[in-house]
């Protein structure tokens, strides 16, 4: 069921969203060759707890980390590990959320580790911009397909592919709520958006084909062809004008 948030609920979503965005900025300061993804997880956990919030991902459906840390060809849901140490030229996607007063924020970014290739940087840039292309249509009365098709068109115009097996989602009291928000589709189709809805829009973009596989840990999703993947996500509030981004 899709929920329309009250003013009081929206204010709580703003607080959770700000903590989430601030936590990602804190993590970014530490992304460099030689750091493990488990260390980044500890930084996120400590930062969120200091804000009087709790990590949304920790123990969610049994997930063992406060962040999903997915380097290079990993698309999403990478489990933080002391054995995964970042090196020069890597890219790393960090997906995370914070819960405060019963409401969640959810956001993701892909970062360069030291100096990266021009193509890797272009993948990161296109993925980020595809989010902003999509949310031009995130307004009261539009359809979810308007967002989805705009993301897909921008990504494919730039020679990359949009992951089909994973989508964005509604968010509020629960980390994942209705509706699903795909990153591919057709304009004019899907649920009609209404002011007061809060959704997480999250393009996941591969340098190669869009096909993905799940690894044996039952969490990590990787590109089937081993190509690089990038991820960019924010929690947004639908209004009667431009949407409000809650996690920037």
Q: Is 102 contained in some domain?
A: yes
| pLDDT tens digits, 47-96 | 999 999 999 999 999 999 999 999 999 999 999 999 999 999 999 999 99
Here the tokens at position 233 are: 């996500």
Q: What is the pLDDT of residue 109?
A: 98
Q: What is the pLDDT of residue 60?
A: 98
Residue 204's pLDDT band (cuts 50, 70, 90): very high
Q: How many domains does the chain have?
A: 1
Segment 234-247 shows an average pLDDT of 98
Q: How far is CA 214 from the centre of its chain?
A: 18
Q: What is the pLDDT of residue 240?
A: 97
CB 228 within 8 A of CB 206: yes
| pLDDT tens digits, 113-147 | 999 999 999 999 999 999 999 999 999 999 999 99
Q: What is the DSSP string of 86-111?
A: --TT-EEEEEEEEEETTEEEEEEEEE
Q: Say how far apart CA 227 and CA 207 lie, in whole Å.
A: 6
Residue 157's pLDDT band (cuts 50, 70, 90): very high
Q: Is 24 contained in some domain?
A: yes
Q: Is 2 contained in some domain?
A: no
Q: Is 211 contained in some domain?
A: yes
At residue 53's C-alpha, the angle toward residues 48 and 58, to 5°, is: 70
Q: Is 217 contained in some domain?
A: yes
Q: What is the pLDDT of residue 76?
A: 98
Q: Is 1 contained in some domain?
A: no
CATH number at residue 60: 3.90.230.10
CA distances from 113 to 28, 87, 99, 124, 174 (A): 10, 7, 28, 12, 32
Give the domain extent around 118: 7-245
Helices (H) and strands (E) in the chain, counts: 4, 15
- Specify the pTM: 0.97
Q: What is the pLDDT of residue 212?
A: 98
| pLDDT tens digits, 161-190 | 999 999 999 999 999 999 999 999 999 999
Q: Is 85 contained in some domain?
A: yes
Q: Is 179 contained in some domain?
A: yes
Average model confidence (pLDDT) across the chain: 98
Q: What is the pLDDT of residue 99?
A: 98
């Amino acid at each position: 069921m899709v929920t329309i948030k009250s003013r009081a609920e929206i204010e709580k979503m703003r607080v959770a969203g700000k903590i989430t965005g601030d936590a990602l900025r804190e993590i970014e300061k530490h992304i460099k060759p030689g750091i493990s993804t488990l260390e980044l997880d500890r930084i996120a956990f400590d930062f969120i707890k200091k804000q009087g919030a709790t990590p949304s991902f920790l123990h969610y459906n049994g997930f063992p980390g406060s962040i999903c840390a997915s380097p290079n060809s990993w698309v999403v849901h990478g489990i933080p590990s002391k054995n995964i140490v970042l090196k020069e030229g890597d890219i790393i996607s960090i997906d995370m959320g914070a819960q405060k007063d019963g409401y969640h924020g959810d956001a993701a970014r892909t970062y360069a580790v030291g100096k990266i290739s021009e193509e890797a940087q272009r993948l990161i840039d296109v993925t980020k911009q595809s989010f902003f292309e999509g949310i031009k249509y995130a307004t009261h009365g539009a359809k979810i397909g308007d967002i989805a098709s705009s993301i897909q068109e921008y990504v494919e115009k730039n020679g990359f592919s949009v992951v089909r097996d994973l989508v964005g989602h509604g968010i509020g009291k629960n980390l994942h709520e209705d509706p699903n928000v795909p990153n591919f589709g057709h304009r004019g189709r899907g649920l009609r958006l209404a002011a007061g809805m809060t959704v997480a829009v999250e393009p996941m973009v591969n340098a190669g084909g869009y096909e993905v596989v799940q690894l044996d840990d039952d969490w990590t999703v990787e590109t089937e062809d081993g190509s690089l993947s990038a991820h960019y996500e924010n929690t947004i509030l639908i209004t009667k004008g431009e949407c409000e981004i809650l996690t920037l």
